Structure 1
Amino acid sequence: MRKVMLTSCLGAVAALTIGAASANDELIKMEKNPKEWVMPAGNYANQRYSELKQITAANVGKLQVAWTFSTGVLRGHEGGPLIIGNMMYVHTPFPNMVYALDLANENKIVWKYEPKQDPNVIPVMCCDTVNRGVAYGDGKIFLHQADTTLVALDAKTGKVAWSTKNGDPGKGATGTSAPLVVKDKVLIGISGGEFGVQCHVTAYDMKDGKQVWRAFSEGPDDQIKFDPEKTMALGKPVGKDSSLTTWQGDQWKIGGGCTWGWLSYDPGLNMVYYGSGNPSTWNPKQRPGDNKWSMTIFGRDADTGMAKWVYQMTPHDEWDYDGVNEMILSDQQVNGQARKLLTHFDRNGLAYTLDRASGELLVAEKYDPKVNWTSGVDMNKSSPTYGRPKVLDQYSTDKQGEDVNVKGICPAALGTKDEQPAAYSPETQLFYVPTNHVCMDYEPFKVSYTAGQPYVGATLSMYPPAGESHMGNFIAWDNKAGKIVWSNKEQFSVWSGALATAGGVVFYGTLEGYLKAVDAKTGKELYKFKTPSGIIGNVTTYEHGGKQFIAILSGVGGWAGIGLAAGLTDPTAGLGAVGGYAALSNYTALGGTLTVFSLPNAN
């Protein structure tokens, strides 16, 4: 595969906001203040990087627990808190409570929001009752509940300002993702790919909750908001009915392509970026064609939702390699030319770098050497298969056929990385990536669609790669060369979001429950502390009263921890994860706790 050498320039974070006067001025100003954490990923670029540097590689070993907070919920705690001024906003899995804590008054609970939801939504949530966080804007806290209700809460009182329904749980749609506030809109995706939902991203008016635009992942051009002549794919117009022609009949109506991952935004280009998930069903024989635009990176106009460019990473997905992972934005030099870049670590085991203005594909490389379903991506622009991965027949669940157990596929369906977000440091110019080092056996079978019922059509089992026992790595990635710089082994998958800091320290959590700190340049472990439960949350940092704090939600669950979270024992349950992570119960138990760390006597 061709590799394009990329050279970073300094000030990547600041550069993203140049010419952004038309965007949400409040949040653009707030995201520059490292003392706060005002968005789910820290900033619009999804870099999960903090300029705070009181905690350094030299003193991080002295971290101590400053305070803790129990959420009162015992399922998987993904995401992390927001810090707005003196207030911290903490969310939970179902029933999706939100707490407002006063950091200036012994972390007192100022208000608590607890929605009343129909518990029948729980069985419709494929991979635990997780929620990835809340968003802030215009004095409101925005929450996407499990029942797909998007609610706006007064940030001072917790009272409901407005609410709107984003989907129909009766047909399998649920809410698990964090909203993103862009200008005067709140953007949110939808979950339900395992139930045959036709998925979408929707923009709602921040003032009153009225729908402004909705863009589906598959369907007619007007529904997916494509201009056949202006929406580009690998440098060419997509053409008329680019999605419809890749589905058989009306299959697109139950096509999946859900959008439950993270969104990012470039104020200068006024574009939002996100990925779509797997096509429905998991049995590829039942849906011939490329199944566009599932498994796709979208670059859309923030005002209208119109797609400017798309790139489908895994056409005709045969392994459930959802493309929903975060898009990390950075400004860098490519062969001496300034380029606006997007870096994405996909479930399929490939790390991509694209030009986020045009959608040009620059780099596509494996970020785990065990990835074996593909020999790589065709990077020859004159080739008819340009941009497509070469699938090896041995691991093709389609070519092997229905009711055939295809063995030894790497990665497993949960991907080399799932939704757990990576971080990027403009100082080291490296990406810090939590990964799954897991393979699988995959047996497709015929399944019929019934609204509101599982529409999966495959049985899975998961395990470490042959000859190895560890199921995770935490890596540093150079997107200039498409190579791993260093890699730390972990016994289980690293299902926590990473945090990079100006202090030269990178933080992440483990499924056993450890918060770990490593040297940003070398990966050397500098500190670890075992929290009350396994960590699938994202590390956050903020400053209050002159001290830098590190905060992490622990509470085992999510797809990897679904056996513990839901009390499942069948090895093939939890879409194959229960057997693969059976040993996790030897190291941790359920719990929902926020643990906050600081240095002793820091000034």
Structure 2
Amino acid sequence: MNLDLGPHLLLVALASTSPAIANDDLMKHLANPAEQVLQTVDYANTRYSKLDQINAGNVKNLQVAWTFSTGVLRGHEGSPLVVGNMMYVHTPFPNIVYALDLDHEAKIVWKYEPKQDPSVIPVMCCDTVNRGLAYSDNAIILHQADTTVVSLDAKTGKVNWSVVNGDPKKGETNTATVLPVKDKIIVGISGGEFGVQCHVTAYDAKTGKKVWRGYSIGPDDQMLVDPEKTTYLGKPVGKDSSTKTWEGDQWKTGGGCTWGWFSYDPKLDLMYYGSGNPSTWNPKQRPGDNRWSMTIWARNPDTGVAKWVYQMTPHDEWDYDGINEMILTDQKVGGKETPLLTHFDRNGFGYTLNRATGELLVAEKFDPVVNWASKVDMDRASPGYGRPIVAERYSPERTGEDETTTGICPGAIGAKNQQPAAFSPGTGLFYVPTNHICMSYEPFHVTYTTGVPYVGATVGLQPPPGESRTGAFVAWDGVAGRIAWSLPEPFSIWSGALATAGGVVFYGTLEGYLKAVDATTGEELYKFKTPSGIVGNVMTYRHGGRQYVAVLSGVGGWAGIGLAAGLTDPADGAGAVGGYAALSDYTALGGQLTVFALPVR
């Protein structure tokens, strides 16, 4: 693989030559590796840091530098931000924000605690998590569980503006971070399990005024799709590309939610994200491809108009949400430097596309046990080009309602869920935290009622046949579409990875270990057990000339929902309570930030 210019360097170069692509203040901070101002580290979603003080030779010497208790005991996803001398820490519901002064022993400078109605908690799927804050032009942006988007003054915590993005009474909630682009804040929505018609929305960064909204499912004008110009695998999508793939008005309760990650290419001026599962989970009740659920979207951030789409799992039968991150890199393909987008989907396939055109280049399994489909049809002359070839044995629809299909791999939790992968331009590899897990699936008839769960399936999660482990940390060659190396883990890895210029990759485990491995070989170099299971994303920053590594621990999320919510029925949490029952032998509830550094010599 030839890498002439890593994605992080590319974005820094663009920031210096094209000041109009975003607000100058944000771009200045993005270019400073001492800070982290977005959850994704950079616009390309690489989760790569150029800091190298901590490296493969000395990472074994890491020590705890300081800790901070958040005061909340649910799943702690996402990571802190560092802007200048300030660190910003968020919590799960009620979504408290702390501003800590790194110059004065992490003293609390201000605290923002939203007054949210606790009735939103039972509406939230899979724990009360929040995947973090974003910084934009001297403001901290929080998207609360109740869908309120808030802009806070970074120095004082004073509310600049707030706007309500959805209605929890209909099942609309939020767990995701936001994407600041130019003068806009891009946000998504959750609620697929309640039959929400989901969307992505842009708000004015200064005022909070809504600029545009694009739905995942529905008429062309609602989706902001141009039938003649928006393409799918190189061809125009055509008129009514979504509604004609649904029966009647089912698209109005069709899901396609947008609770994952956003990335942005300033050169192409396109933002990328994925849409989630169609509603209901019972595929028999919604014939058709159910477009554009389970889809990668490329949109213009100024207008919201879609340039291209690619549907990974047409007519989903397994709850394989397509919301996982889109990682943007520039690499040689066939001897030609190509703008790429790499996506590790819940369905177990790792996809590489040309992000300028939406052309599909690679679609291969990143977990060998994936069996619901034999492969993705890559024959451009085939009428099924770009579609998965489904194995009838593992099709719940073919098995029928009120009947159980067993041994489906991966489980509904996905071969990888929202936990973000990382990319290193030094090795050309992606580092993927995965779920090595299978399921049983029983669909049943369900009737839509506003604000009531609209699931229609009972799911059980189990390790693959003959195995006990449910996790692996995978190094992936995105151009070749193959595993470079893989590290088995006893439980799914629900923590986001971080790659660094020091040749080290970090991740956390559900038992609570922070681990550091060699980026080239995968050799374990360091581990430390934090007070609770890690479902947060590892981050790094530099302060006072010293590099630090930080991670939130607090078990929860879908994999840890049994512990987080005190559930005991194995079927609860869409099967996660039973699938991860042994986790309670290794960790307990918590809510803590742990910060590491090398000893001072």
Q: What is aligned with 2:10?
A: 15
Moved more, 172-181 or 8-17: 8-17
- Which residue does 2:75 correspond to in 1? 76
RMSD (Å), alpha carbons? 0.8
Give the corresponding residue for 1:418: 417
Equivalent AA in structure 2 for residue 187 of structure 1: I
Shift in Å, 1:527: 0.4
Question: Which secondary structure does the structure 1 equivalent of 2:20 belong to?
Answer: coil
Map of 1:203 onto structure 2: 202
Instruction: Say whether residues 1:434 and 2:442 are aligned partners.
Output: no
Number of the residue aligned with 1:3: none
Deviation at 1:10, TM superposition (A): 3.1
User: 1:389 — aligned with what?
Assistant: 388
CA contact (8 A) 1:257 1:293 kept: yes
- Matched position secondary structure for 1:486: strand
Deviation of the 1:32 alpha carbon:
1.6
* 1:7-406 matches, cutoff 5 A: 7-16=2-11, 17-18=13-14, 20-24=18-22, 25-406=24-405
Q: Residues 348 and 366 of structure 2 are in contact (CA less than 8 Å); yes or no, is this contact kept in structure 1?
A: yes
Secondary structure of 1:574 counterpart: coil
Deviation at 1:15, TM superposition (A): 1.8
Instruction: Report the TM-score, using the length of structure 1 for normalisation.
Output: 0.98
CA contact (8 A) 1:195 1:451 kept: yes
CA contact (8 A) 1:7 1:480 kept: no
Deviations, residues 249-291 of structure 1 (Å, cap 9, x unaligned): 0000000000000000001111100000000000000000000
Q: Which amino acid aligns with 1:528?
A: K
Alignment-mate amino acid for residue 131 of structure 2: R
Contact 1:555 1:590 in 2 (8 A): yes
SS for the counterpart of 1:418 is: coil
Q: Which moved more, 1:17-26 or 1:582-591?
A: 17-26
Preserved contact between residue 342 and residue 478 of structure 2 (Cα < 8 Å): yes
Unaligned runs of 5+ in 2: none
CA-to-aligned-CA distance 1:166-196 (integer Å, 9 cap, x gap)? 0010000001100110000000100000000
- Partners of 1:145 and 1:41 in 2: CA distance: 18
Q: Which amino acid aligns with 2:3?
A: S
Q: Which residue of 2 aligns with 1:504?
A: 503
Contact 2:330 2:337 in 1 (8 A): yes
Q: CA deviation at 1:7?
A: 3.7
**Letter matched to residue 167 of structure 2:** D
Cα distance, 1:20 vs. partner? 3.5
SS, match of residue 22 in structure 1 = helix
Look up the SS of the partner of 1:382 in the other structure: coil
Cα distance in structure 1, aligned partners of 2:28 and 2:389? 44
Quote how far apart the aligned CAs of 1:320 are: 0.2
What is the TM-score of this pair, normalised by structure 2? 0.99
Q: Distance in 2 between matches of 1:521 and 1:159?
A: 45
- The count of corresponding residues between Structure 1 and Structure 2 is 597
Q: Structure 2 counterpart of 1:343, which letter?
A: T
Q: Quote the Cα distance in structure 2 between the aligned partners of 1:371 and 1:288.
A: 24
Separation (CA, whole Å) in 1 of partners of 2:137 and 2:102: 21
Q: Which runs of 4+ in 1 moved over 6 A?
A: none
In structure 1, the partner of 2:591 is 592
Secondary structure of the structure 1 residue equivalent to 2:155: coil
1:511-568 Cα shifts (integer Å, max 9, x gaps) = 0000000000000000000000000000000000111000000000000000000010
Partner of 1:556: 555
Q: CA deviation at 1:399?
A: 1.1
Per-residue CA deviation, residues 386-415 of structure 1 (Å, 9 max, x unaligned), is 000000000001111101100000000010
- Distance, in Å, in 2 between the alignment partners of 1:21 and 1:84 is 20
Q: Which amino acid aligns with 1:574?
A: G
SS at match of 2:104: coil
TM-superposed deviation, 1:28:
2.2
CA contact (8 A) 2:7 2:46 kept: no
- Deviation, 1:333, is 1.4
**Could you say what secondary structure the match of 1:30 adopts?**
helix
Q: Alpha-carbon deviation of 1:382?
A: 1.1
Contact 1:10/1:427 (8 A) holds in 2: no
How far apart are the structure 1 equivalents of 2:475 and 2:4? 18
Q: CA deviation at 1:493?
A: 0.1
SS in 2 for 1:245: helix
Deviation at 1:335, TM superposition (A): 1.0
Alpha-carbon distance in structure 2 between the residues aligned to 1:406 and 1:8: 44
Match of 1:116, as an amino acid? K
Distance 1:507 1:589 in 2: 22
Which residue number in structure 1 is paired with residue 479 of structure 2? 480
What's the offset of the Cα at 1:361? 0.3
Question: Post-superposition shift, 1:338?
Answer: 1.7
Q: Please state how far the C-alpha of 1:12 moved relative to its aligned partner.
A: 2.8
Question: Shift of the alpha carbon at 1:334?
Answer: 1.2
Q: Which moved more, 1:56-65 or 1:7-16?
A: 7-16
3-state SS, counterpart of residue 472 of structure 2: strand
> Deviations along 1:102-127, whole A, 9 cap, x unmatched?
00011000000000000000000010
* Amino acid paired to 2:278: P
Answer whether contact 1:12 1:332 (CA < 8 A) is retained: no
- Offset from partner CA, 1:496-521 (integer Å, 9 cap, x none): 00000000000000000000000000
Amino acid corresponding to residue 21 of structure 2 in structure 1? A
- In 2: Cα distance, 1:185 partner to 1:444 partner: 41
Q: Note the alpha carbon deviations across 1:405-450, whole angstroms, 9 max, x for none.
A: 0000000001010000000000000000000000000000001111
Deviation at 1:96, TM superposition (A): 0.3
Contact 2:7 2:44 in 1 (8 A): no
Using the alignment, how far apart are the partners of 1:62 and 1:14 within structure 2? Answer: 29
Q: Is the 8 A contact 2:91 2:130 kept in 1?
A: yes
User: 2: distance between equivalents of 1:170 and 1:7?
Assistant: 51
| Conserved 8 A contact 2:6-2:329 | no
* 1:9, distance to aligned residue in structure 2 (A): 2.3
CA–CA distance in 1 between the matches of 2:105 and 2:355?
44
Q: What is the identity, as a one-letter code, of the residue corresponding to 2:311? A: Q
Q: State which drifts further: 19-28 or 447-456.
A: 19-28
Superposed displacement of residue 26, structure 1: 2.3
